[in-house]
Amino acid sequence: MYSGLTEQLGISVKDKLLELALTHRSFSYEAGGIPTNERLEFLGDSVLGLVVTDELYKKFPDLDESRLSPLRSGVVNMRALAQIARDLKLGEYLRIGKGEEATNGRDKNSILADSLEALVGAIYLEHGYIRSSEVILKWIGSAIDSATAQGAGLDGKTALQELAASINMPSPEYEIVESGPDHDKSFVATVILNNERFPAGSGKSKREAEQAAARIAHEAISNRENKK
């Protein structure tokens, strides 16, 4: 039933687990409430995040958390995961409801990305972490290389600018408030993006404060995008 998919995956997974990983809640609703892939998705999201985090941690020993976080977001965001699912032709195997079928649900980024995470969860349950990580890195190795090539040298403001452009948002604006005497000034910066104000960042210079604010906004937007 899933021989074409397992051939694409390069690893065997029991049909029962694959069926569960590919069952969207819209199908479950129409089928009387059968189990969905959401628990596997929850598990796979954590496994995927750990594999990518571990790989970036080892690949860039000199980068701090503020630099590693946007790199990880560039690899495991919804659009990137959906593209991997398309490369695996995952949409052909999804069990979705009639409503989703009618609205091209098999090619929706959110459904594809969630299903890929559920598939990771299924592979992890059957084969454990080491084998799962090998499969995941095979899928996303080029994505890691691309994200790191673009992002390893990016500062917070540039990373935020590129993230905003990638999701069709306007360029971020920065509001600066300075305080203190001339010899000991401090600065607080706030990012305003698409009419939304993000938590402020602070620093001993305007640039430092803007960089801190940009990293805060970048993390907030990335987390939001990854939950879509």
In sign, the C-alpha dihedral spanning 141, 4, 19, 15 is negative
Q: Which residues contact 154 (CB under 8 A, 6 or more apart)?
A: 67, 70, 162
CB 92 within 8 A of CB 106: yes
Helix extents (H) in 60-196 = 65-76, 78-87, 98-102, 109-151, 156-166
Q: Report how many helices (DSSP H) and strands (DSSP E) the chain contains, helices first.
A: 10, 4
134 marked among binding-site residues: no
Measured in whole angstroms, how far is the alpha carbon of residue 130 from the centre of its chain?
21
User: Would you name the residues annotated as active-site residues?
Assistant: 45, 117
107 marked among binding-site residues: no
Cα–Cα nearest to 143, from 222, 216, 64, 87: 87
CB 40 within 8 A of CB 121: yes
175 marked among binding-site residues: no
Given its phi and psi angles, is residue 117 left (phi above 0), alpha (psi -120 to 50 degrees) or beta? alpha
DSSP state of 11: S
Binding site as annotated, residues for Mg(2+): 41, 114, 117
